[in-house]
Chain A
Amino acid sequence: MASYEREHPQSATLCAVAVEITELSGAGISLTSAGDESTKLCTSNNVAEELMDLEITLGEGPGDEASRSGVANEESNLMSPESSRWAVYSPEAVAAGARAVFGFPVRIGAVRFGALSLFRDTPGPLSEAQTSDAYLMASVIGRAILAMQAGAPRNTLSKELEGHSTFDFSVHQAAGMVSVQGSLSIKDALVALRAHAFASQETSSALAQRVIARQIHLDPTSGTWQETLRRNNS
């Protein structure tokens, strides 16, 4: 997993864009694996890198909390005596140069992909616009991580992120169906669906519609996609 950044140079772009649109000092994205462990996907600069390493080593911090709880959090003044949320992380984060940190979960429904951690070198809460942008960014990152895990060809990622920040409801329904077909987690089902859409050069929605119409399914024994034989459908 550590080689993600090398395998996916696009991921570094995600952090850079997150910093740009939220106008903060730095950003990092962590991935949550099945065992609840976090790994680093990317960071935007050295301080963000140090903060991310702290979170992962200590198992506490804004991204860690966001990914565990599924809700966003904000520590707008790490130097305040009331800032005792993370006993070890907070003083270390201050030493690294952060004064305020923010965590946003990266998720698609019940699927937890990880978190977006943001920091600023001055204290203070996020503005309304910054909060909206961070939520939007977290949503876009969710799609991007899914596309990367589904083996998106290098040049397709930006295209992938055009349009809506979330999928059609049909994609989520189909992911639920495929998880039962293949005895997979919803996350793996979503990745499998996305990967097959890439491979067959169709949109996720188009493939999802075919899954829902029971025209195609994931065969559990072979792990391959198979067109469903049409019985006498009235």
Chain B
Amino acid sequence: MAARESLLIATLVELADNLVDHYDVIDVLTVLSDRCVEAIDVDAAGVMLASPGGELQFIASSSESMRVLELFQIQADEGPCVDCYRDGHAIVNQSLDETDGRWPRFTPKALAYGFRSVHSLPLRLRGRTIGALNLFRTTQGPLDVDDVVVAQGLADVATIAILQHRSALDASTLNEQLSNALNSRIVIEQAKGIISQATICDMDHAFGRLRSHARNHNEGLTDVAWGIVGGTLRAQDLDEPKEFTPK
């Protein structure tokens, strides 16, 4: 418990540091997803944001494995994040059961990938829901009440992270931030493809290299991805991930 609290405080400090200057939204939300997995009893976590057109799109996750990404991809159409986003209410302790027919595409995939329960918490800003934090567990049974509180706290931090500056409180700037975050994610996917082909590795390793390089050189994840796509940085020259192990 004490260890968890100190981890949480460390996370908030880390994020607060990040939020001071120009920072990379994808980076911050990836850190936040990682910390969810470390701080609370969940096995994977990720953030989806609503595009200005109102579709949910994947932004960041504690795992870049194709399986987990696929579970986010499906949630453009159906799943706990869509329900949470649409209603603006948290969905907690939702056991995955193929027979209830609630999410006919999402549930069988999530079960096949070993998950047994899901939770989704809204990212809310002044009454407007801008996305959702998604938590996956490989076990059934309820989340600890404290865990839910902590997760919602992290979801609130994520919301702040998206609003890169105060002016984002106005609607058109918020739309711009959302649009930029979603586009940055696409640049990262394009860069992953380039790295994967140029160095013959899988996509999560490609992401690991992007991330290690960004960290080691104190650059934003998106900037490194732009470097790869724009040809100013060669895939072969990216740092190899050392400590980073996709969960």
Chain B contacts for A107, CB-based, 8 A: 183
Chain A contacts for B52, CB-based, 8 A: 131-133, 135-136, 139
Question: In the complex the two chains form, is A176's CB within 8 Å of B51's CB?
Answer: no
Selected from A111, A128, A131, A165, the residue in CB contact (under 8 A) with B55 is A165
B73 contacts A by Cβ under 8 Å: yes
Bound-complex Cα distance A128 to B176 (A): 11
State which residues 134-178 of A face B: CB under 8 Å: 135-136, 139, 164-166, 168-170, 172-178
Question: In the complex the two chains form, is A125's CB within 8 Å of B172's CB?
Answer: yes
A88 contacts B by Cβ under 8 Å: no
Bound-complex Cα distance A128 to B171 (A): 6
Bound-complex Cα distance A206 to B179 (A): 26
Which single residue of chain A is at the shortest CB-CB distance from B72? A169
Chain A contacts for B172, CB-based, 8 A: 72, 74, 125-126, 128, 131
Question: In the complex the two chains form, is B51's CB within 8 Å of A136's CB?
Answer: yes
Chain A contacts for B191, CB-based, 8 A: 110, 176
B35 contacts A by Cβ under 8 Å: no
Bound-complex Cα distance A181 to B194 (A): 9
Q: Sample 15 A-B pairs with CB under 8 A, ordered by A number.
A: A72-B172, A109-B190, A110-B190, A111-B190, A128-B171, A128-B172, A131-B171, A136-B54, A139-B51, A165-B53, A169-B186, A172-B190, A176-B195, A176-B196, A177-B194
Which single residue of chain B is at the shortest CB-CB distance from A212? B203
Q: A166-B57, A169-B69 are in contact. Are A180 and B51 (CB under 8 A)?
A: no
Question: In the complex the two chains form, is A110's CB within 8 Å of B226's CB?
Answer: yes
A96 contacts B by Cβ under 8 Å: no
Contact with A along B230-242 (1 / 0, CB 8 A): 1000010000000
Bound-complex Cα distance A181 to B193 (A): 11
What is the distance, in angstroms, from B190's C-beta to the closest C-beta of chain A? 4
List residues of chain A with CB under 8 Å of any chain B CB: 70-72, 74, 107-111, 125-126, 128, 131-133, 135-136, 139, 164-166, 168-170, 172-181, 186, 212
What is the distance, in angstroms, from B74's C-beta to the closest C-beta of chain A? 10
B84 contacts A by Cβ under 8 Å: no
Q: A110-B226, A135-B52 are in contact. Are A166 and B182 (CB under 8 A)?
A: yes
Chain A contacts for B179, CB-based, 8 A: 72, 135
Chain B contacts for A174, CB-based, 8 A: 193
Question: In the complex the two chains form, is B194's CB within 8 Å of A176's CB?
Answer: yes
B13 contacts A by Cβ under 8 Å: no
B192 contacts A by Cβ under 8 Å: yes
B6 contacts A by Cβ under 8 Å: no
Contact with A along B172-202 (1 / 0, CB 8 A): 1001100110110111011111111110000
Bound-complex Cα distance A133 to B76 (A): 18
Q: A109-B187, A172-B189 are in contact. Are A135 and B229 (CB under 8 A)?
A: no
Chain B contacts for A186, CB-based, 8 A: 190, 194, 229
What is the distance, in angstroms, from A216's C-beta to the closest C-beta of chain B? 13
> Beyond A132-B54, A136-B53: 19 further Cβ-contacts under 8 Å?
A109-B186, A109-B229, A111-B190, A132-B175, A136-B51, A139-B53, A164-B76, A166-B182, A169-B186, A173-B190, A173-B203, A175-B190, A176-B193, A176-B197, A177-B194, A179-B193, A180-B193, A180-B235, A212-B193
Which single residue of chain B is at the shortest CB-CB distance from A180? B197
Question: In the complex the two chains form, is A110's CB within 8 Å of B189's CB?
Answer: no
